[in-house]
Chains A and B, each alone.
Chain A
């Protein structure tokens, strides 16, 4: 995903990609087991969103948005570059982490993704102010760049706003 200088209302942010925007506009994506991590800086009216697929990069480098650990760092880096200030004072919202198929044993990957992001964000002192995670269905996610308001919609399970 490119880092749009202007707000993006175009294609959804794909698996492993990151989008950032400032001012106004909408960032959107679809998630199932992946997690949409939204970072919002009220101070700068700037929003970043990463479409995280796996909990840890374990040495892999690209694309950084694919893994929880590298996605957080890269989203913050892009936001800092976008606003020109490394004091973002941002908050976070997490959406996704569903278990849509149960063919494999062990902790579902969606749960692992959410847990990894919670841990990383907690270690950085970034407060998670909203979350809609788990379940067994996909979610359509749209973030208002200016306000950080997140709209979460599903095909059969209603919608909600964070």
Chain B
């Protein structure tokens, strides 16, 4: 990725974080700060390990994207962190949920929907501002599985179109409590071709 392209994508993620924070705060009725502290573009062959290569399950929500920008967006976190986030979203004391029931899944899916759409709108506005189609996200899908299997499934959505994956390491702060998660965007060739090409650059977002 060229420096200019990287900056463009970085701007989009900044805008997505800002808009996502506002949308999530409105939904929860509490102060929320969503930030992206690192943006990486990885070769697809080494991207499978970005969620970890261990045996512990990760929790994730994925959204398919079509329209002006195509690909897949994944919000993922370690199981314990995701359950804590679900507790907070449901206004329960952290540690209340010990497994993924319907309520916890719904809370995470709704969060992914709100945050994901904020990022996607920002990406679309910056990367394809003239496109009248906009973006068409699918409903988020909840998936709890081995991290390598989750990432593999994500990569398999675009295996013939793109060779890179954009990874943004993200943080949620809700009422001051920190939750770390990964935001993975796997673009198709058409959506980010001018922006996400020939890249293995990693750079903190500031």
Contacts and interface: CB of A to CB of B under 8 A. Distances in A.
A154 B146 CA distance: 8
Interface stretch (A18-26, A119-127, A134-142, A143-151): A134-142
A32 B143 CA distance: 12
A155 B144 contact: yes
A53 B160 CA distance: 11
Nearest to B143: A100
Interface in B114-154: 138, 141, 143-150, 152-154
A137 B149 CA distance: 8
B67 interface: no
A53 B149 CA distance: 12
Contacts of B46: 14
Interface in A23-38: 29-34
A155 B138 CA distance: 25
14 contacts: A12-B148, A14-B45, A15-B45, A15-B48, A32-B145, A32-B153, A53-B156, A98-B153, A103-B64, A137-B149, A138-B148, A138-B149, A138-B150, A138-B152
Given A54-B160, A156-B144, A30 B149 contact: yes
Interface of A: 11-12, 14-16, 29-34, 53-54, 63, 98, 100-104, 109-110, 137-140, 154-156
Most buried by A among B138, B148, B154: B148
Nearest to B65: A103
Given A30-B147, A101-B143, A110-B156, 13 more contacts: A31-B152, A32-B152, A32-B153, A34-B152, A101-B64, A101-B141, A109-B159, A137-B149, A138-B148, A138-B153, A139-B149, A155-B57, A155-B145
B156 A34 contact: yes
A103 B143 CA distance: 14
B49 interface: yes
B193 interface: no
B102 interface: no
Contact of B150 (A11, A32, A104): A32
A156 B100 CA distance: 11
Interface of B: 45-46, 48-49, 53, 55, 57, 62, 64, 72, 138, 141, 143-150, 152-157, 159-160
A100 B62 CA distance: 10
Nearest to B144: A155
A31 B156 CA distance: 11
A100 B72 CA distance: 13
Nearest to A63: B45
Nearest to B53: A12
A33 to B, nearest CB: 4
A152 to B, nearest CB: 12
B159 A30 contact: no
Contacts of B53: 11-12, 30
A140 B55 contact: yes
B155 A15 contact: yes
Among B64, B144, B149: residue with most chain A CB under 10 A: B149
A29 B147 CA distance: 12
B138 A32 contact: no
A138 B62 CA distance: 15
B108 to A, nearest CB: 16
